[in-house]
Each structure stands twice: as structure tokens, then as C-alpha cells.
Amino acid sequence: MPLDLPPDEAATLRRGEGPAVQIDLVQTMIFHAAVAALRLGVFGALERGPRELGALARELAVDEANLRALLRLLVTGGYLAEGGDGYERTPAGAWLAGPDDGFGAVLDFWHSLIGGLWQGLEETVRTGKPQRDFYAWLQERPDVLTRFQGIQLRIAEWVKEEVLELAGLPGEPVRLLDLGGGHATYSIAYCRRHPGLSATVLDLPGALEPGRATVEAEGMTGRFTFLPGDLRTAEPPGGQDVVLLFNVLHGFPADTARTLVDRAVGALRPGGRLIVMETLADPVGSVREEAFTRGFDLNLIHTQGGRLHPVEEIAAWTTAAGCAPPARRDLVRAAGFSLLVADRQG
């Protein structure tokens, strides 16, 4: 969390009377220290209450002197407090338990991503071309891929009921196509609501595995087809009543994203419904959300050649592809997300 600077010290930096960038340097150190503590099990061990340094070091099987240096930095960063009973988590530190749990998984994933892919950012800005392939990088790191898929799944579980309320399906749909929806959370939710509905999920081979496992656990195997393929080149099956494009378009440059919208609309029967969900390029909300969104946009540019496309631009693509002007419905549970719902004309 941001260093709790005294007001006079913060004002000095804002006036340029000191190197404000030093705070960013320290925050980077704290970021790395927090992830190291996650991976060592520090935050999980402190869930049970304050721990004396020596006892904690023995439990975690780590060097006591080095652990003390790590914990002291986390005290400075606001994640831990030190008192007569030893070290304990602060309210800020209570958000972190382990690298596979809650926001700890998010922190661990971004640590791997930034550390692994953000080198050469200046070249991306200079040339306009991404320096690395995010999905190829993920495929080489199964543990990071699993964490990434888990994050996407938790987001989907958090917003799926609101999505169904904001973006209902027309009539009694029979065929749904989920483009890039490997975890199948939204497809499963729509199939639960519409007993006559079957779904096809098209995504990269590795991305389909979580969806297959969930569909089998839900007893819906007979209602799902999983098609391995690259969205940039695969031809989606036609005659669909509904096509979902959820959190996909931002992974591609504008020309490719527009082509995906064209293909999605082309896969619909006349009167069928296209539902797009995307991260807002300019979210309405806190300074924290705005800052993360701008960092996320830069990450997309650098690691995928994508970007956050304005909702108005996506809406224009759907209309040009043959849909009626879409309805926009912003989510409440995830204020940075927006839905576009458009029916194919003809």
C-alpha cells in the first residue's frame, strides 16, 4: 500500500523539492517483499495471530535474520505491525493469505507478469510493436497459467448473476457460442437459466481445460462442445442464437478486434444476439481503479499488441457488422466492466 507519508513530507515531494520517484522505488521493493512473504507463507501463518520472530522463522523454515529484514520492510509498507507479541497483519495485510488465495493470487500473478514481460517497454512505445507474446509466455509457465485462469474464473463467478440480469437472451435460444470463454462460467450460467440451450466454447487448447472440468462436474457434458482454435484464424460455427465475446477484444489491436466482431455477428442467425463484455477504457470510480486501468492498458499494448477499446468504438463495429445499435449496460459489481447487447438485423 502507499507509504503513509506525513503531510509535510508528501507536500515537499509534490512541489518537486525532493525526488518523488524515490517513493516508487521503495514501493517496488515493498511489492517484491510482499510477494516473497506470500510465497514463504508469512501472511498465512499470521492469520492465527501475532507471532514472535524466532517462532515464525522456525515454522517457516527460513533464516531468522533475513526474515526480520523482510518483515521490517513490510511494516514500513503497512502490511504488518510490530508489537510486544511480535509481528501481526494489519487490515491492509489481511487481504493477503497465500499466492493461491484471493488477492494474493492476483498480486503473485502480476509480479510474475511484470517481472517476466515488462522489460523492453520502451521498445514497444518506440516501435508500436509488442516485444513478447503473452499467451506463449503463459504456455511456458503452467503454474502462472493456472493462476491466471483462476483469476479469470473468480471474476466471472463474482459478476455472472449480474451479467445474466443485464443481458438476457431472446426467446427460447437453442445454440450459444462462447468465443474465448475457456472457463465456460458464463455459458454454464446461461445454460442453467435456459434448459433447452446448448453451448459451443471456442478457445486455445490449454484454455479449454478448466471449462471441460467444470462442465463435467456440473453434469452438463451432453450440452457442451469444446472447439480448440485461435480466435484470429478459426471460423466459428454459424446459425447461433447467441454469441458471447467476453473480455476478449482488448487482447487484440483494433483491426483484429473489429474482425472478431465481424465474425461473431456472422455466426449469428438473423435476430440472434451478440453480447460483448469489455473493460472500460475510462472507468468511472476511484483514483485506484483509474490508475490500474491505465496500467492494464499499457500492459495489453506491450505484451499482446492489444489495448482497451472505447465502448463507443466497439458499438460502431457491431452496427457496421449488421447489428442494430447496441444497448450499453454497465456493471455495478465490477464498475470497470461494461456490456453491449446487440441483435443481428435481417
pTM above 0.85?
A: yes
Q: Are the C-beta atoms of residues 244 and 202 closer than 8 Å to each other?
A: no
Stated length of the chain? 346
CATH architecture classification, 121-343? 3-Layer(aba) Sandwich (3.40)
Q: What is the DSSP letter of 247?
A: S
Reference 209, options 123, 134, 150, 135; nearest CA is 150
pLDDT at 1: 63
Q: What is the C-alpha separation between 172 and 150, in angstroms, rounded? A: 32
What's the pLDDT score for residue 300? 96
Tell me the HSE value of 318 on the side-chain side, using a 13 A CA sphere: 30
- For 86, 170, 211, 312, the CA distances from 319, given in Å and listed in that order, are 62, 18, 31, 11
For the chain, the structural domain boundaries read: 7-98, 121-343
Low-confidence ranges of the chain (pLDDT < 70): 1
C-alpha cell at 293: 486501468
Q: How far is CA 284 from the centre of its chain?
A: 18
Q: In the numeric block, which cell numbers belong to residue 322?
A: 449488421
* Bridge pairing between strands 175-179 and 86-89: unpaired
Pick the CATH number of 7-98 from 3.90.79.10, 3.30.420.40, 1.10.10.10, 3.50.50.60: 1.10.10.10
- Between strands 86-89 and 80-83, the pairing is antiparallel
pLDDT of residue 170: 86
Return the SS3 of 340: strand
Q: Where does residue 346 rank: exposed (0-12), middle (13-18), buried (19+ CB within 10 A)?
A: exposed
What is the C-alpha to C-alpha distance for residues 256 and 231, in angstroms, rounded to an integer? 10
Rounded to a whole number of angstroms, the CA Rg of the chain reads 23
Angle between helices 185-193 and 205-217 (to 10 degrees): 40
The Cα 30–Cα 35 span in angstroms is 9
